[in-house]
Amino acid sequence: MAPFPWCEDFCFHLGDIYTRLRVVSRMKAGGRATGHVVTMSEIFKSHEECENPRSSLIEGKPGMGKTTYCKKLVYGWAIGKQETGGFLPSFKIVLFIKCRDMKGDLWAAIDDQLLPRGIDEAEKEKFFNFIRRNQSAVLLVLDGLDEVSVSKLPMFAEIIQGRLLPKCYLVVTARHEAGVQVRRHCDTLLEVEGFTEEDARNFITKYFKTRENLAKTLIEEIGKDKKLKDMAANPLNTALFCLVCEDFEGVFPESRTELYVEIVQCVLRRYKQKKQLPVNGEDFIEEYGTQLKHLGGIALNGLLEDNLDFDESQLGNHKSELPGFGFLSVQPGGSKLRPRRRYAFLHKSFQEWFAAYYLSRRLIAKEISPSEVAVDKCFIQQLKEVLPFVFGILSARCEETTVILVKSITSHLNQEVDEVRDRWFRVVLDCIKECKEENDLPTRLSRDFGSLLQLEFVSLERSNVCDPDVVILAEALKTNTTLKSLHISFNAIGEEGAVALAEALTSNSSLRVLNLGTNRILGPGACALTGLLKRNTTLTELLVPFNNILDSGADALAEALKCNVSLSRLDLSFNNIGHPGATTLAGAIKCNGTLTDLRLSGNKIGDAGASFLADAVQVNANLKMILLAGGSIGDAGATSLAEALKCNKTLKDLGLHDNDIGDSGTTALAAALECNNSLERLDLSSNKITDHGALALSNSLKSNT
């Protein structure tokens, strides 16, 4: 059943264009996620953590194309156009299994989902034995691990660990929250990266291959609206844009919620036209509100019970209408064990929208209260994607209830334990982002959220935070008076987010620690932070490692350091800063009176940069730690720093790991240690020191106290 025009060929349009994954190293404790783009043929390519990968986990947000990617892979194999590229084995059998449809073990699923209905038992066993004997030539695809109940995860973990078919190749797809449960069992972790702007243009062009004017209109509209551009990174959203454009010719949504609202309106209009019913008015959702609320109740119960399909008996009095609307698909032939007709939502995101519609209707009718929603942990577990839709729908129909809901959640959030509190915090950002912008509602909600927030520490590390989220967070910081430490590292924050934070924190007087490590703020983002450092008088720690700020960003921050009166710790590690950036930082250190901890590891500052830093160390009376690991300073740089140590009386920690320092640089440092009486830690590991340098160090330790 394919009620949307894009359902049948979506896979093939998408598969032709979108065959990129971002390879992410398996998450080790404290490890940094590093990645690069790979092609479909490279999902079993060897990498530094596994020489011969057997299992690959593909993670991604809803609608990113995880299932489509797998279908493209299976389709290519089925028609004999399997990509090899030297990394993808030549498979004799590919088994595509939908996780949500597994009622028993793996063998029962293969029988139920893939084999002919009337297959002879002997033939079936012969097929199973072939799989067992030829495991290295078998690819098993388990699609949608996030769509199964928690109670079934141990069964899937057994398969993924290889306890059932240890030599079989395996691909598993899941949303992030489900993937994290099995990551440790997989050889390779991959993430669907999303559409680039070019991908989106190509998809739109193919969709409207006979209506070039509509393709041009949609591409231009997305190109000039940043919100639409951000949404178009999700392949499913791009496909939905095409449908909306086709029906409304130029009217485009402002949020994900509004996009789904327009899709529902489209489908209901087409339903009425098909039934030759009068198409009067524009709000078909209101017209069919009773039926949609019933469908929403089914959707909500299914999500809470980890079921994405349901029996037709649950349609109740609406059995004749709901299947015809076009939001449901009939399960093909049903199950052998349960031959009754069953239905499922076309995509889990549609089920989540309908569940949100049901909840919002109940909130508006006061059948449930905002405080009941606020204390329900389901909304940060099974319903994490539902609550933002609730806010989007509510904000368009009842602003007052939306405001009360934000206040209720914030009051509850203040009482939660750390882990739950941080998860609620992240969900609130998503919720406010979905609200209608009429009457500046998102800004008002953000400021209400900030003013009521009583937390001192928040961590949003690895929480898929991007610029639109940070804009909301920044508005909250403008009115907050309690938050002291904010950690938002390992996300996708860019220049826009950095600008918003800098603006907010110029007036905020509570935040002490800001961790922006491993984001994408780049040089322009670092320049934006200079305004923060020039005007803010309370921030003591700014951490921006792994942000590629380059020399331009270092120069800007250095300029701000000259007049900053509060910062004590600055981490600029791994930012591609060269000796020009190190030189300007050294100049700032000479006149800065508060900085005690400077981290520049992983930058190629060279001996010239080290020399200028050494000059600064000679006159600076505040610095206690300087980390320069991996800075390529060599013997010349080490010798310059050694001269500085002879007169410096405050430095306690000097990190020179992995710097190509040989015996001459080591000998100079050893001589400095004989007269320096402040240094407590000197890291010279992974250099080029021989016996001669080691002897010089040992002799210096005789007099160093």
Tokens of 130: 């072939």
pLDDT of residue 29: 35
Could you tell me which residues are beta bridge partners of residue 487? 459, 515
Tokens of 354: 């309908």
Using alpha carbons, list the distances in angstroms from residue 72 to 39, 81, 138, 141, 514.
12, 10, 17, 12, 43
Count of CB atoms situated within 10 Å of the CB of 154: 9
Could you tell me which residues are beta bridge partners of residue 309? 344
pLDDT of residue 477: 97
pLDDT of residue 309: 76
pLDDT of residue 83: 56
pLDDT of residue 36: 63
**Residue in 665, 670, 648, 526 with CA at minimum distance from that of residue 585:** 526
Strands 342-345 and 309-311: antiparallel
Burial of 330 (0-12, 13-18, 19+ CB in 10 A): middle
Could you tell me which residues are beta bridge partners of residue 345? 328
Segment-wise mean pLDDT, segments of 10 residues, the chain, 705 residues: 38 47 48 56 80 88 79 83 65 89 86 86 91 92 84 84 90 84 86 83 88 87 75 80 77 82 87 85 88 96 84 87 83 50 79 95 95 88 90 94 96 89 93 91 96 96 92 97 97 94 94 97 94 92 97 96 95 97 96 96 96 95 96 97 94 97 97 94 97 95 90
**Residue in 103, 8, 181 with CA at minimum distance from that of residue 172:** 181
pTM above 0.85, yes or no: no
Give the model confidence (pLDDT) of 453-488 as tens digits.
999 999 999 998 999 999 999 999 999 999 999 999
Segment (H or E) for 238: helix 235-248
Count of CB atoms situated within 10 Å of the CB of 422: 21
Give the model confidence (pLDDT) of 7-66 as tens digits.
434 444 444 444 456 555 544 333 334 556 667 678 888 887 788 888 899 888 777 778
Cβ(337)–Cβ(374) below 8 Å? no
State the number of CA atoms in the 13 A half-sphere of 632 facing the CB.
13
pLDDT of residue 30: 36
pLDDT of residue 17: 47
Three-state SS at 242? helix
| C-alpha dihedral sign at 420, 421, 422, 428 | positive
Percentage of residues in the chain having pLDDT higher than 90:
54
